[in-house]
Amino acid sequence: MSGVPIEPLLREARARLVAAGIDAGSAAHDARTLLAHVLGVEPSALLLRSAVAPADAAAFDVLLARRAAREPLQHLTGRAWFRHVELAVGPGVFVPRPETELLAGWAIAACAGRQRPVVVDLCTGSGAVAAALADEVPGARVHAVELSEEAAAYAARNLAGRAVDLRIGDLADAFPELDGTVDVVTANPPYIPLEAWESVAVEARDHDPALALFSGPDGLDAIRVVARVAARLLRPGGVVGCEHADVQGRSAPAVFARTGDFTDVRDHRDLNDRPRWTTARRVQEGGVSRWQDGPGE
């Protein structure tokens, strides 16, 4: 096949992305993903090609320049994978991270043994967690809420055809008709302190919506609301899981513990062994709130 040879094209692309400050491993992945996107194939299919047409190489160069300027890869391709679900993403919605798949997996496991578990996903964003729950827990009654109309438009697209009740509104007032009946609450709320703006990765800081990132001086404002809402929604013995920043491995679980509404408050680590999400159980009637000070496993 005549045209522009693929291997030198990808080597140059990787070097260009590394020079732009992107990790070498991610740079190689991103280059292959972008070229595959231009060609309309999966990245693995590149192994079957030796060259691309000059027009495709030119289109690849345009996308590569945008990625080198630190535009998120998912914005350039318009899609992101979350567990077994493909999601539409782009400007105006938070791009789901692999770390959140652990929270979704915990919620899916928490539904085990219940024929029709009731689940509420707060701050649903793209609908990633809600879509995973609907996909992997047949019969679950999944409800999701998102404040941003722009983000909710992506969620509506990603949840279309799934048994999910999606609403636009403030999580603080969400689903009053479900009070005391919910089995599992999940949330990936904003949790970055306002003063930490400069420390946020360029892709997130410049392209993810601020509404999905920042949450007051200590980053815990939204998590405090999640704790109050979860206490209202959950049945006695129901559980909540909430993602947080890696520096909040003590402060985030403390938010839930100090309400007096929860027991079995634990913190969990992500695949890089960083504190990442907190779980807690709604106190049973006549029960006692328990929490061991300090992050759990």
| CB-based contact 123:188 (threshold 8 Å) | yes
Determine whether the annotation assigns residue 191 to a binding site: yes
| CB-based contact 155:90 (threshold 8 Å) | no
Tell me the chain's radius of gyration from C-alpha atoms. Answer: 21
Instruction: Please tell me the distance from the alpha carbon of residue 180 to that of residue 185, in angstroms, as a whole number.
Output: 12
Beta strand 182-187 pairing with 118-122 = parallel
Under DSSP, is residue 70 helix (H, G, I), strand (E, B) or coil?
A: coil
Determine whether the annotation assigns residue 154 to a binding site: no
Q: Which residues pair with 279 in a beta bridge?
A: 241, 266
CA 43 to chain centre: 23
Helical (H) or strand (E) element with 28: helix 24-39
Determine whether the annotation assigns residue 189 to a binding site: yes
Token pair in block for residue 187 = 């949330």
Token pair in block for residue 111 = 């539904």
Determine whether the annotation assigns residue 272 to a binding site: no
Determine whether the annotation assigns residue 158 to a binding site: no
Residues flagged as binding site for S-adenosyl-L-methionine: 146, 188
| Residue ranges at the known binding site for substrate | 188-191
Which segments are annotated as binding site? Answer: 146, 188-191
